[in-house]
A and B are shown apart, each in its own frame.
Chain A
Amino acid sequence: MKTPLLSTQNLQIGYSNGKPASKIVGSELNLDLYQGEFVCLVGPNGAGKSTLLRTLTGLLPVLGGEVLLGGKNMRQYSRKELANEISVVLTSPIQVGAMTVSELVAMGRFPFTGLFDRMSENDWRIVHQALEMVGLLGFEERMVHKLSDGERQKVMIARALAQEPRILVLDEPTAYLDLPGRVSVMNLLHELAKNHSQTVLTSTHDLDLAMRSADRLWLMSPGGKIISGAPEDLVLSGDFQRVFARERITFDVMNGHFSVAGSHESQVCLQGEGEVRVWTERALQRIGYSVSSVDQSTGLRIAIETSENGLVWQVEQGNQKNEFTNLESLVSYLRGSSSLVSN
């Protein structure tokens, strides 16, 4: 049995604010983090993900229980010793003013350079390596405030890597990014764990990306309880669905994504194959149809055909027959006809 890099025993997290009454966000947390794994901390807003990460990185005090880091109690670490073990990337975009990428990444060497911050050849080599790992070689002289949000977040990851941490902790690193930026950052974290056996712990709201790339999920429920396990196990056990249960939102176990629970009153029989079928199904589900291939006697049938001019959707409803050349017109037709029916 491997020994974990970081483990918590009956950890209690929350804010103390110096007042006697502290706000407990979560308790009885028993978690393990192993060398080289990529763990995503997921859970609904307000579950206490940030509080947990801030506690594990030493930004908030441990309110109860223990955090063991490399077998040693975290309370025994000085701030500087902790900086050798853990480095962080935070949610909020930074405002450093005018600074080059290499200057910013070089700040990762902070715990290792002396009082006057003199960088050795070795320090610069590590900065270079960190930039290489995040795929930003050639960006050294670019100004940080002129980069895109995604690039800037990768620079912050490079800075954290230059700190040569045993554990890289990220608090919602993708929150301010556009979709390609999110995919790219999550993929980068996955590769850091896979190719460089860098231990990575990140919180995220991108459940889909987390499920596809994480080795394990820490699933945090609003009560401050955490269930950990492989993403697939958590789905099969039903824990995943339960934690994110919300009115009218259901987790589609077959497709692995969340969907708005429609009434699915109308049924449609769809004939067709391949990717066209997949996207036609999505369009139909979006407007509240449940799709099957079996011919039911509900009367609505759609067949996908290929003609000389491209794709054609043939719609048969009772004795009415219509043809459409794109899904937009098909959808607007079905919407119109269903409102006619309800009238």
Chain B
Amino acid sequence: MSSDSINTLGRKRTGIFIIFGVLLLLVVALNLTLGSVRIPLQDVLKVLFRQPGVKDSWVFIVQDYRLPKILTAILAGMALSASGLQMQTMFRNPLADPFILGINSGASLGVAIAIMGAGLAGGLFIPALNFSGDLGLVAAASLGAGVVMGLILLVGRRVNNPTTLLILGLMFGHATSALVSLLIYFSAPEKVKAYSIWSFGSFTGVTWNQLMVLIPVILFALGILAFLPKGLNALLLGEDYARTMGLNVTRLRVLVLISASILSGAITAFCGPIGFIGVAVPHIARNLLKTSNHKLLIPAVILIGAIVAVAADLVAQMPGSQFVLPINVVTSLFGAPFVLWIVLKGKRGSTSFNV
């Protein structure tokens, strides 16, 4: 009977998930030891388990620099990938992701308005705020992201052409970026510099206090997503089929909108706009697992997203050198050819929907 064969398929997939887990541990371990200073793994472990006998500077590097940075990278990878997956299914577009559809721009506009409008203290975009300030930042960014996504959803209902949708996203992105530029234009020079640094994207600089905001927010949004695989699977057949199966499509859209805009908004607020992870990781997951079933894809993109983000950060550190590349340089250099590949192979009955 078919449930048996599904079990054998399931075992194969369990194997893949174990490999993902091992890979994640590996890139995290490498990221903890490598960097501008090489710290042996046993010393890293001593710091993590609060054992004595490690140089003070190393303790500082691991505890207050690398560990929060890696946690941020993991959160960002999970959040952007999960956000991209939801958006690709909802918009029925293989290129949908927070970066490409201009939803990040909405998030940055939210942050800019919050800081300028509310006149909050601290530098623009790298604010040293208190807890409620950080939460407000996340809320503003998510709201900005949500407004742009909602607009694309509203206008996108009238267009069936996937390419038109992408152009729509591009235009919304440009429009919101222009508003951000306008705000920047009337800002002090140091804020302009801070903005350009922020726009390179970075996992560093997120403090433990900020992580205490970021972690529950991301978990909350992923928690919403945990209830959505059934509806997202139904949506794969198209909206008409989904409705005749009894799915409340509008409610699903609203939940996806909330989850995806919190995920991309929160990460954009703290790390800047980070490209290509959201669009690429869902495709990697579909190709590795050979499925479009969201019950498998959601955990897979969360794991793969974390691996990819930590690995990208590892490359950005350029181990052995004193230089650190902006994270967006790394994700774009690897991501742009990947997106080209998706577009070019898209026409031949692939594992995803067509472009």
Contacts and interface: CB of A to CB of B under 8 A. Distances in A.
A79 interface: yes
A323 B2 CA distance: 62
B199 interface: no
B46 interface: no
Given A98-B290, A99-B293, A111 B353 contact: no
A155 B2 CA distance: 15
Contacts, number: 98
Given A103-B293, A117-B230, A98 B351 contact: yes
B77 to A, nearest CB: 23
Contacts of A146: 349
Contacts of B248: 79
Interface in B285-302: 286, 290-293, 295
Contacts of A174: none
A83 B2 CA distance: 25
A141 interface: yes
Contacts of B9: 100, 141
A97 interface: yes
B247 interface: yes
A121 B295 CA distance: 19
B286 A117 contact: no
Interface string B223-259: 0000101100110111011011111100000000000
Contacts of B18: none
B5 interface: yes
Contacts of A65: none
Contacts of A79: 243, 246-248
Q: Looking at B227, B237, B243, B295, which has the most chain A CB atoms within 10 Å of its CB?
A: B237
A95 B354 contact: yes
Contact of B295 (A94, A98, A117): A117
Interface in A50-98: 57-59, 79-80, 82-84, 86-88, 90, 92, 94-98
Interface in B260-311: 286, 290-293, 295
A99 B350 CA distance: 11
Nearest to B291: A98
Contacts of A83: 244-246
Given A115-B227, A117-B229, A128-B1, A59 B244 contact: yes
Interface residues of B, number: 34
B286 A97 contact: yes
A94 B241 contact: yes
B342 to A, nearest CB: 13
Given A110-B245, A124-B3, A94 B237 contact: yes
Contacts of B292: 96-99
B352 interface: yes
Nearest to A121: B3
B6 interface: yes
A59 B229 CA distance: 23
Nearest to B289: A98
Interface in A34-63: 57-59
Contacts of B6: 102
A145 interface: yes
A92 B292 CA distance: 19
A191 interface: no
Contacts of B234: 107, 110
Contact of B246 (A80, A99, A128, A143): A80
B245 A163 contact: yes
Given A83-B246, A95-B354, A96-B236, A124 B1 contact: yes
A209 to B, nearest CB: 24
B48 to A, nearest CB: 35
The CB with the most chain B CB atoms within 10 A, among A94, A95, A100, is that of A95
A80 B245 CA distance: 7
Contact of B245 (A90, A98, A107, A124): A107
Contact of A95 (B5, B290, B353): B353
B250 to A, nearest CB: 10
A223 to B, nearest CB: 26
A107 B237 contact: yes
Contacts of A117: 229-230, 233, 295
B306 to A, nearest CB: 23
A72 to B, nearest CB: 17
A57 B234 CA distance: 17
Q: Which 8 A-B pairs have the closest CB atoms?
A: A83-B246, A97-B292, A80-B246, A98-B351, A117-B230, A110-B245, A111-B246, A140-B2
Interface of A: 57-59, 79-80, 82-84, 86-88, 90, 92, 94-100, 102-103, 107-108, 110-111, 113, 115-117, 119, 121, 124, 127-128, 140-141, 143, 145-146, 163
Interface of B: 1-3, 5-6, 9, 227, 229-230, 233-234, 236-238, 240-241, 243-248, 286, 290-293, 295, 349-354
8 contacts: A79-B243, A83-B244, A88-B240, A96-B237, A98-B286, A102-B6, A117-B229, A124-B3
